[in-house]
Structure 1
Amino acid sequence: MSKSPFQTPNRRGFLIGGAALLSSPALAQSTDSTEEQAYDPLRPPPEPEPPVRRNISSFKAQSWQPYFSNTRNGAILVDTQSRVLHYWSEDQSVYRLFPSSVPLTEDMTRRGRTSVIRKVEGPSWSPTPSMKKRNPEWPDHIPPGPDNPLGSHALYLSWKYYRIHGTHDTRKIGRKSSNGCIGLYNEHISELFSMTKIGTQVLLI
């Protein structure tokens, strides 16, 4: 599996600049704006987290019943603590469990019920107005391809700016590495993409 950071000199500059900005107190401040909490795909992964004792039992199969009243249109459960995404098909004949990336901080973590409203294979990415204001050197648009921070596929949620998507930077999976979105390995988002439909239920806990 190849890692594809931004490959042109200018895009390397964005990553280097993003790494410096990551330590800025201004960026660490939380706001009430949904846009400010949007996923920041140009931000590189944080430094390695300090060693913690993992609860391996949390990364295990779950039953859908404690979380959903039914599985109409399929159901996705994202556990931000164990950093795992669960999927059940509508007829419950298919169950999948995928490791995921999660938001960088508690302030950036949104929980609750939403749904898939759009599916895009080969997504493009553009910064939100607040991202562009903070980082005017960032590009206005990144087309689909190996440089795109949303990976190979994206599931757009009813929450504005929030997505479940792939990533070409596999270091992010299993870590706190986004400003709100949930990331999967490209091969996993491809599989999830093929199983979900518009209207698939999503719950983040």
Structure 2
Amino acid sequence: MNRFVKLSFILAMTATVSALALSEAQAQYYRGGNGNTVLVTPDGRILEQYPDGGGYSMARDGRGRRVLVDTYGNVVATEMRASTYYPKAPARDAYNDNGYGNGGRYGDTQLSNNGGYRDYRQYRTDGYGQQDQDIVTGGIPRDGDIQRQPLDDQPMPGKSPNQMNSTGNDYASIDPQQGTPDIIRKPQPADPVITLKGKSKMEITALEVFLARQGISPGAIDGRMGANVTKAIYAYQQMTGQTLDPNNTDAILEQLRMSGGMPIINYTITAADAAGPYVASIPEDYAAKSQMPSLGYTSTTEMLAERFHMDEGYLKALNPGVDFTVPGNTIKVVNTGPAKIGAVAKILADKGRKQVFAYDANGTLIAAYPASIGSADTPSPSGTVTVERVAFNPGYTYNPKINFQQGVNDKVLNIPPGPNGPVGTVWMALSKPTYGIHGTPDPSRIGKSQSHGCVRLTNWDATELAKMVKPGVVVEFVD
């Protein structure tokens, strides 16, 4: 018995010493400024050393990279090659106050063309100077864990459940005395046709960006004159009472110059952009989706395309030969400007035109979006309903008995949140059960495909609309 206890004690001590040696080796590895790899945090910082304290473990993300996670499954940092970030790691200078030569902290700088260093932190934005904190774009390792919240009781980001009001959300409801504004809709051609005269992709892009800046979304910007752009032109004329000539590129460029600058700008890929983390792929089967910890972006190009309201293929075409995974690389993106703001009092969902119109309390059109609205098999509601609640980055509960049949799945499935989830990054629940206005994992198909009865928008359009909506807003479906 004594021999057994002694043996157990020796084995336990050996395991403890090994674990401590591993932690110390990792700490020395990063503390010593190893030039091969660096740990990049989700906000783009590079860790100088392995985090102190316990509760951390290493996992693999969808691209096979080592990911440091805490006990709750949150990503702390992603291990990446230092050569991806810097041509050569700065040499350590014992006489420098911050411990590294050439000035600036190792991990927060990049070599500029003149050999100096520039601060990475100036690029940690959405392209317009601020980040949108409401959308969760990253994933977590496959062996991590997530906590799902029911849509009914989900608070707004950054607020605790005890800050919610008695109705189960933290939005103020529309004042019943306010009433619903009368909407005067100007007649539009039954089959509107607009012909462009030899316009290039760049000129069509300028038209799309101009419309987007006015609050009239053309959907995913792709440099093509499609149905979504045509609908947006007519919506602009309805909004302003002015006729827009899409062939007058000079006038469009002049208006762009006065409203935020040229339609194409340069953007420098940041460390956070490259680090992700990303998931390897998104399965079609809902049962497989339900087993994933997150339905995040699958690549840097997919994430950047959504951030800049672009078709992913068009983003790649604008930047031939560019490696989007390398921080410091400069790419061309469209400049749609800041999101539309205001207070929406009524939403009109036009099934025939596959378009959503948002009006203020005076009946003035303030925004319009291309949409996928219902299908012959699963039609959208008719008549009038109201918005009941809004949730950002929601999970999704699939129930074949009350939703639709997906593949061979005949059981209730809880599908995790993420921009590639069935409802994208936003869910605006309507008073008719199971119906809502939401985002999508396929932004380039909006307005060109059908939905399962709900109103589907691009993730960025759904987010913009959701921030202007309160529970109680009337949604009218028209044919």
Query: TM-score, length-normalised on structure 1?
Result: 0.61
Aligned residues: 146
Alignment match of 1:152 (pick from 404, 411, 425): 425
Alignment match of 1:82 (pick from 330, 333, 353): 353
Separation (CA, whole Å) in 2 of partners of 1:144 and 1:162: 18
For the structure 1 residues 147 and 139, does the alpha-carbon distance in structure 2 shift closer, same or farther, using more than 3 Å as the test? farther
Asked which structure has the greater RCO (Cα within 8 Å, sep 6+), the reply is: 1
Separation (CA, whole Å) in 1 of partners of 2:424 and 2:444: 13
- Contact 2:437 / 2:454 at 8 angstroms: preserved in 1? yes
Output the amino acid matched with 1:190. Answer: T
Separation (CA, whole Å) in 2 of partners of 1:133 and 1:152: 21
- Contact 1:75 / 1:90 at 8 angstroms: preserved in 2? yes
Secondary structure of residue in 1 paired with 2:461: helix
Alignment of 1:55 with 2:154, yes or no, is no
- Contact 1:77 / 1:203 at 8 angstroms: preserved in 2? yes
Alignment of 1:116 with 2:387, yes or no, is yes
For the structure 1 residues 181 and 87, does the alpha-carbon distance in structure 2 shift closer, same or farther, using more than 3 Å as the test? same
Residue number in structure 2 paired with 1:185: 458
Q: CA-to-partner distance for each residue in 1:146-192, whole Å, 9 max, x for gaps?
A: 33110111110000000000112124301342120010011111110
Residue number in structure 1 paired with 2:178: none
Note the C-alpha offset of 1:84. Answer: 0.5
Structure 2 unaligned segments of length 5 or more: list them.
1-136, 138-189, 195-229, 240-342
Separation (CA, whole Å) in 2 of partners of 1:99 and 1:73: 17
Separation (CA, whole Å) in 2 of partners of 1:56 and 1:111: 28
- Contact 1:126 / 1:141 at 8 angstroms: preserved in 2? yes
Alignment match of 1:166 (pick from 418, 439, 442): 439
Query: TM-score, length-normalised on structure 2?
Result: 0.28
Note the C-alpha offset of 1:107. Answer: 5.7
Output the amino acid matched with 1:86. Answer: F
Output the amino acid matched with 1:136. Answer: N
- Contact 2:419 / 2:440 at 8 angstroms: preserved in 1? no
Separation (CA, whole Å) in 2 of partners of 1:84 and 1:75: 14
Structure 1 unaligned segments of length 5 or more: list them.
5-52, 64-71
Separation (CA, whole Å) in 2 of partners of 1:97 and 1:113: 18
Separation (CA, whole Å) in 2 of partners of 1:129 and 1:103: 17
| Correspondence 1:34-53 to 2 at 5 A | none
Note the C-alpha offset of 1:126. Answer: 1.1
Secondary structure of residue in 2 paired with 1:167: coil
- Contact 1:73 / 1:201 at 8 angstroms: preserved in 2? no
Aligned CA RMSD, in angstroms, stands at 3.0
- Contact 1:75 / 1:87 at 8 angstroms: preserved in 2? yes
Note the C-alpha offset of 1:55. Answer: 2.7
Q: Greater CA radius of gyration, 1 or 2?
A: 2
Note the C-alpha offset of 1:111. Answer: 1.2
Separation (CA, whole Å) in 2 of partners of 1:195 and 1:56: 31
Residue number in structure 2 paired with 1:66: none
Alignment of 1:104 with 2:241, yes or no, is no
Q: Higher mean Cα deviation, 126-135 or 162-171?
A: 126-135
Separation (CA, whole Å) in 2 of partners of 1:179 and 1:133: 11
Secondary structure of residue in 2 paired with 1:180: coil
